[in-house]
Amino acid sequence: MSKKDLERICEDITTISPFIRFVGVIGESGELNAYRRRQDLVPLLNHKNSQFQFSHIAMNSDLEGFFDKNLGEVEFVWEERKKVQTISFAIKKSRVWVSIDKKVIRSEMLRIIDSCLPIVKKHS
């Protein structure tokens, strides 16, 4: 996938909801290949911790592959934390990682997920 395609994925997802903080496409080695961050936003992770988070996502993606034969491929992972909610989606060997404001209600989270799935599937 081209850099322009990856940037388009980030752009398309950020337009789904004003509650989306960050969208990034993470490669299989944990590199950040494209991203969009909401303007006026103070990141929760510094640069070093962001790199650790992306490496963690890449390692988890690799480990999840062991269960694909029995359970099927991962479509998305939704994580709720104290300060933020995250969703990650698989696109081939990459992951699209989306962080969303914590205050978002579950119905909005489900709407965001449902809106992201066609974008991700288009590129899978």
Taking residues 18-32, what's their average pLDDT? 90
Closest CA to 44 of 22, 68, 15: 22
Q: Is the pLDDT of residue 20 over 60?
A: yes
- pLDDT at position 118, please? 96
Per-residue model confidence as pLDDT tens digits over 26-60: 888 888 899 999 888 877 766 776 776 766 666 66
Confidence of residue 1 (pLDDT cuts 50, 70, 90): confident
> Would you identify the CATH topology of the domain 3-123?
Beta-Lactamase (3.30.450)
Spell out a b/e string for 8-46, using b for 16 or more CB atoms within 10 Å of the CB, else e: bbbebbbebbebbbbbbbbbeebeebbbbeeeeeeeeee
**More confident call, 83 vs 93:** 83
Distance, in Å, from the CA atom of 11 to the CA atom of 14, rounded to the nearest integer, reads 5
Q: What are the extents of the domains in the chain?
A: 3-123
Mean pLDDT over all residues of the chain?
Answer: 85
pLDDT band at 61, cuts 50/70/90?
A: low
Q: What is the pLDDT of residue 32?
A: 86
Q: What does the pLDDT average to over 86-114?
A: 92
Stated pTM of the model: 0.84
Share of the chain above pLDDT 90, in %: 48
Mean pLDDT of 84-109: 91
